[in-house]
Amino acid sequence: MWENNKLGNLCLVGDGAHASIERVESGILYLSSKNFKKGIIDLSDVDYISPFNYSKHFKETKAVTKPTHNDLLLGIIGSLGSPYLVKPEDVIGISSSVAIIRPKQLLDSRFLFYYLTSSFVQNYIEAIKSGAAQGFVSLEMLKSIPVRLPPLSLQRQIATVLGRYDALLENYQAQVAALEGLAQELYREWFVRGRCPGAAAGPNGEFPTGWQVTTVESVVKRLKFGKTFKPDEVDSEGKVIVVDQSVSGFLGYHDKEPDHLASIETPIITFGDHSCKMTLMAQPFSLAENVIPFIASNKFTPAYYLYEAIKSLIETQEYKRHWTDLLSKQIIIPPLIEQNNFAKSVKPFFSKCENIRNQMGLLRATRDALLPRLLSGQLLPAPIVPTA
């Protein structure tokens, strides 16, 4: 039997450090509300704190302040985004702009994760935070969230069904990352290590004959933005992808005309102006704020070569600045025949990535259609049969 309850009765609710903690270059991950985006945790602009300060500010106490396995983390200032389910291996510090939700025995953490991503909860949160300064959601507001709770065994079945979709999505994402890694490694082999087929080394170990060094600005052409979309203007049911700052994870979809008509033959590069993350779009798309679309300024420079060259530049120099600063950086331009040979070699990798992303889109749509039906009791999952 399903019961109606409140989140505050089913969970312990707390938040992160109410102190100014010194940031360091590397150390313990320190999350704030800026890292919680729709569908993903965005680590493109993340802070770190020292192990000493982590031990000082995040201790095991009766108060819920230290994230532990199976806790739910949720940004509570601005656009709340999606929750994060803490893994056993995670060591995370959080600011006071992040809530910790710790389920009690009657509530399964994975079920709660999916429940908090549902449109019902998201709409409820938007309603209660309207009018609050900066869209702030207090811990008491979180505790007031209604929960329609099935028996624990059914919670686990529902979470298992939805979890299978997410496991497939993670597998697909790993395949995309592997294919993109192959393309990047081939670029390094040919144009960084100097083992490009047919290219003879120049005198005294210099670049091969015909290779040039120029600036990024001289080889790229920025495209017009078109309309940019905010999180509340997109959902999971549209047909046109909206690319956001995280780039590796898209903001969502909409049904209006796309801003840019990319294809596998004429791909367009997108660049997160603050995250400095890039992707190569091979299907029509629109943009969220602060994302720059560009192509090669010279139509004879293949997009596949330009993408890998700039991506390598960003990664090797640990580049974390603004687009205008990137334009002054130097880039290698080999003869066109060698660029084309490279583009032909890596194009199959990107074609495969595009096919996988299309499959991921269908999988997400199926999962998102199932989620409200499962969470409302309109659809019951098949019982889980234990395996030997």
What is the per-residue pLDDT across 113-153, written as a single tens digit (0 to 9) for each? 999 999 888 888 888 876 655 678 889 999 999 999 999 99
Sign of the torsion formed by the C-alpha atoms of 327, 332, 338 and 341: negative
The answer to whether the CB of 319 falls within 8 A of the CB of 326 is yes
pLDDT of residue 384: 54
On the 0-12 / 13-18 / 19+ scale of CB atoms within 10 A, 323 is middle
> Which range (43-57, 242-256, 271-285, 323-337) has the least confidence?
242-256
Q: Report the pLDDT averaged over residues 93-122.
A: 93
Percent of the chain's residues with pLDDT above 90: 55
How many CA atoms within 13 Å lie on the side-chain side of 13? 19
Residue 255 identity: D
Q: Cβ(281)–Cβ(267) under 8 Å? A: yes
Res 205 pLDDT > 90: no
| The Cα angle at residue 327 between residues 321 and 333, in degrees rounded to 5 | 125
Which residues have CB under 8 Å from 265's CB, separation 6+?
Answer: none
Residue with tokens 């192959």: 182
Residue from 328, 337, 332, 293 nearest 309 by CA: 332
Q: Tell me the C-alpha distance between 98 and 46, whole Å.
A: 14
Please tell me the pTM assigned to this model: 0.85
Using pLDDT thresholds of 50, 70 and 90, give the confidence band for residue 317. Answer: low
Query: Which residue ranges form the domains of the chain, and what is each CATH number?
Result: 3-149 (3.90.220.20), 168-364 (3.90.220.20)
The mean predicted confidence, pLDDT, of the chain is 87
Residue 36 main-chain phi, psi, to 5 deg: -100, 105
Q: Given pLDDT bands bounded at 50, 70 and 90, which one contains residue 172?
A: very high
Rounded Cα distance between 139 and 141, Å, is 5
Three-class DSSP category at 197: coil
Band (pLDDT 50/70/90 cuts) for residue 388 is: very low
- 337 class by beta-carbon count within 10 Å (0-12 exposed, 13-18 middle, 19+ buried): exposed
Task: Give the number of other Cβ atoms within 10 Å of residue 237's Cβ.
Answer: 12
What is the helix (H) or strand (E) element at residue 154, kind and residue range?
A: helix 152-187
| pLDDT for residue 320 | 59
Question: Which region among 21-35, 74-88, 148-162 has the lowest average model confidence (pLDDT)?
Answer: 74-88
In the predicted model, what is the mean pLDDT of residues 73-82?
A: 82
Q: Cβ(72)–Cβ(29) under 8 Å? A: no
Task: Indicate if the pLDDT at residue 274 is higher than 80.
Answer: no
| Among 192, 189, 208, CA closest to 200 | 208
**380 pLDDT exceeds 90?**
no
